[in-house]
Amino acid sequence: MPLLSKDEIKVRLPLEKVVENDLGTPEKRYSNWLHYFCPFHKNTHTPALGINLRTDTFKCFSCGKQGDIFTWHILRNNVDFKASLTYYRTQFPLLEQVSLSTQYQKKSLQVSWNKPPSQIWQAQGNTFLERSQICLWSKKGVHGRKELEHRGIERATAQAWGLGYNPVWIKQSGEKWGLDKEQTVWLPKGLVIPAFMDADLWYLKIRIFGRQGMPVKKVKGKSKYLQVLGSRPVLFGKNHFSGQENLLLAESELDVILAWQEGRHIFDLASLGGAGKHLSTQWMVHLLSYRKIILAYDADIAGRKGAENLKLLSKRLQVFTPPAEDLCAFYQEGGDLKKWLQDLLA
């Protein structure tokens, strides 16, 4: 397998993540810039080092040091370019498993960089989410609580992940969410699932319920879930990572939440949000430290296909289909999910 070139590494590995790994959380963020105290000169008063998210470069507005991820490593460690290139190839082994030029790139790896929704969208989304969270534990949320109980998800777990329940279909203008006024935002009746990265709300997904208060069944051409218009893709579960050596990727958010409840001391848990979702280079950097990555997708055709496509990215990704339709179904059928998770490491 050919090693990644300089340009391929720069495409896959955002400078933002490299600097965050070295310096931690930025002091402030303004537009397309992240600001830190510069490590290349003494200064404790002004965060003069800027990371340009658009150009993927850095510049200190005090000492003048500037460059890309390779320059960053060279200056930080007093090495030459060759040593810097070798460092990125060996320190981030997942990157060298597949070249961008291979036939698998379009199937499994998505070269993209997204930002969270606008502040208007997040404010409106958080308002809706807070109301749904209150509703879930009120009289109006009885159907939502029954669904959680059916799936084995305990109250403390649901609260830890910020789940809510919307009791009626709601129609709102896109303008209210910071979108085009011609657009319509639908908020269906059902279980509300938020996806956060740090403090930002990236998406809201709703498990749709029918008129009788039961989750709708999958109908050809229609999904059981609706993702609120304006949502952005994100690595669901990242905020709950606790530093485990191994990671489990499940197909759905509710599978991740149940698996976290039963085995968060065994695995870190995450989801890409569906069987057909690609692994973006933006989120791949969060997976590089794991010794083993288990793909526990659903046992249907879509789940098997999605897991097999992702598996092509690295030998560290291994497919283990749940003994039932999915992780929640396995738990519902009386399976010992915690033991099954423990056995995966054996």
| pLDDT of the residue at 110 | 59
Domain boundaries, the chain: 6-96, 119-227, 238-344
pLDDT tens-place string over residues 35-79 = 999 999 987 788 999 998 878 899 999 999 999 999 999 999 999
CA distances, 16 to each of 35, 50, 114, 229 (Å): 11, 10, 13, 27
Among 72-86, 253-267, 300-314, 331-345, which is the least confidently predicted range? 300-314
Q: Above pLDDT 90, what percent of the chain?
A: 60
210-213's contacts with Cβ under 8 Å and 24+ in sequence apart are 213/142, 213/143, 213/146
| pLDDT of the residue at 109 | 56
Question: Would you call 45 exposed, middle or buried from its count of C-beta atoms within 10 A (0-12, 13-18, 19+)?
Answer: exposed
Provide the token pair at 343.
């056995």
Asked if 336 contacts 311 with a C-beta cutoff of 8 angstroms, the reply is no
Instruction: Enter the pTM of the model.
Output: 0.71
Per-residue pLDDT for 105 more than 50? no
Q: 238-344 domain in CATH 3.30.70.270?
A: no
Q: Which CATH architecture has domain 6-96?
A: Alpha-Beta Complex (3.90)
11 DSSP β-pair partners: none
Per-residue pLDDT for 2 more than 70? no
pLDDT tens-place string over residues 188-239 = 999 999 999 999 999 999 999 998 889 998 765 678 999 999 999 999 999 9
Per-residue pLDDT for 345 more than 60? yes
| pLDDT of the residue at 148 | 97
Q: 119-227 domain in CATH 3.90.79.10?
A: no
Alpha helices in 152-267 (DSSP H): 155-160, 253-263
